[in-house]
Homo-oligomer: A and B are copies of this chain.
């Protein structure tokens, strides 16, 4: 009920209209169309987009977010259980990221103390658990 135009949705989420259309190409929202071909959204889409904003704003990729949201029903409003499951999954990723940041912070604290004068002992210089598993390359250092 009370379907929204793309402009309404933009106004309510703070996103640009173009961004909402872009997210649609990633399957994050799947609006219906009215007689004239204009997109019509439900209220649940406000929440979807808020979730996307929060997650991408924290540095998670759209692909990541889209993968989580793929578990939500397409056109009917997600249930409490739907959102709960997503929240729990995503929470794991957030916790992982916090842990990594805390490790980095602790290392920097160590550097403040040691002055980083010893290459061998400096933990910043050997960030083994920050760096990815498969060989050199800066690819996806914080991949979950």
Contacts and interface: CB of A to CB of B under 8 A. Distances in A.
A4 interface: no
A33 interface: no
A116 to B, nearest CB: 5
A80 B43 contact: no
B108 A87 contact: yes
Nearest to A117: B80
A144 interface: no
Nearest to A140: B57
Contacts of A53: 127, 130-131, 138, 141
A59 interface: yes
Interface of A: 10-11, 14-16, 19, 43, 46-47, 50-51, 53-54, 56-59, 78-81, 83-84, 87-88, 90-91, 94-95, 97-98, 100-102, 104-105, 107-109, 111-112, 114-117, 119, 122, 124-125, 127, 130-131, 135-138, 141-142
Given A14-B131, A53-B141, A87-B108, 13 more contacts: A15-B136, A47-B125, A51-B124, A54-B124, A54-B130, A58-B100, A58-B141, A80-B115, A83-B111, A87-B109, A90-B108, A94-B108, A95-B105
